[in-house]
Copies of this chain bind each other. A is one copy, B any other.
Amino acid sequence: MSVTLYGFWRSLAAYRVRSALYYKEIPFTEKIINLVEGDQFSEDYHKLNPQHVIPLLEHDDRKITQSMAILEYLEQVWPNRPILPKDAYEQAYLRSISLITVADTHPLVVPRIRGFLNKNYGQDEAGQAAWAQHWFNEGSLAIEARLHNEGLFGQFTLGNEVSIADFSLCSHVIGARLFGADLSHAPQLVKIADHCLSLDAFAKAHPMKQPGAPIKK
């Protein structure tokens, strides 16, 4: 059995998968696809994923992309340390709250979007950061409101057990911090993410602890 994660230190989507692999104690190796150097457009990676994005999970001869699809796959193939409850409504809550960041926030701030803003609207680094901060803020407020609206959280997104949504919510807070976004209006979200980060699986998967990450001063 062989599991390979194609990732990159600063990818939030790769973080979601990496932290879940650690949480489920699935042995894996990680291959670096350097998004800054354009590895995602190489001939070799094109054959693996013609969408040219990471993460990609290689499980024996199976290749799976998109972090949410990978997390669901991990749960089905490695049911130990479950990350989905049995109840259909609780599952829907977890998928829904995850998608606020996985679909409605993160895809807005990835390199290809910021590159477009630069090329077409003349947005320099500060302008791109303002864009990213705006959408992180919108996402944080939405997640915070949803947490309270449904009222199902405990130490984690759903009660006091780690679930599929925690990998996404934690990636959101990590991203918001990397981009210097304001998290002061989302205290419960921050509390959940920081509780996740107190666990070894979430902590050692952190972008800043991966090969290639800038050394913290």
* A residues lining the B interface (CB < 8 Å): 47, 49-53, 62, 64-66, 68-70, 72-73, 76-77, 88-89, 91-93, 95-96, 99-100, 102-104, 106-108, 112-113, 116-117, 121, 123, 134, 138, 142, 145-146, 149
User: Which chain B positions have C-beta within 8 A of A123?
Assistant: 121
Asked if residues A92 and B69 are in contact (CB atoms below 8 Å), the reply is yes
Q: Is the CB of A149 within 8 A of B92?
A: no
> What copy number does this chain have within its complex?
2
User: What are 9 of the A-B contact pairs (CB < 8 Å)?
Assistant: A49-B146, A62-B89, A66-B100, A69-B96, A72-B91, A72-B95, A99-B102, A107-B107, A107-B108
**If the complex has contacts A88-B77, A103-B102, are A69 and B95 also in contact, measured as CB distance less than 8 A?**
yes
Interface centre among A51, A72, A138 (most CB of B within 10 A): A51
How many angstroms from the CA of A150 to the CA of B106 in the assembled complex? Answer: 26
A210 to chain B, nearest CB (A): 23
Q: Are A50 and B103 in contact, CB atoms less than 8 angstroms apart?
A: no
Question: Given known contacts A51-B100, A69-B96, what 5 new A-B pairs fall within 8 Å (CB)?
Answer: A66-B96, A66-B100, A69-B95, A76-B91, A121-B121
B104 near A64: Cβ-Cβ < 8 Å: no
In Å, the complex CA distance between A68 and B72 comes to 13
Contact: A51 with B145, CB < 8 Å?
yes
Chain B's nearest CB lies how many Å from the CB of A46? 9
CB distance from A24 to the nearest CB of B (A): 14
Q: Which of A69, A89, A123, A142 has the most CB of B within 10 A?
A: A69
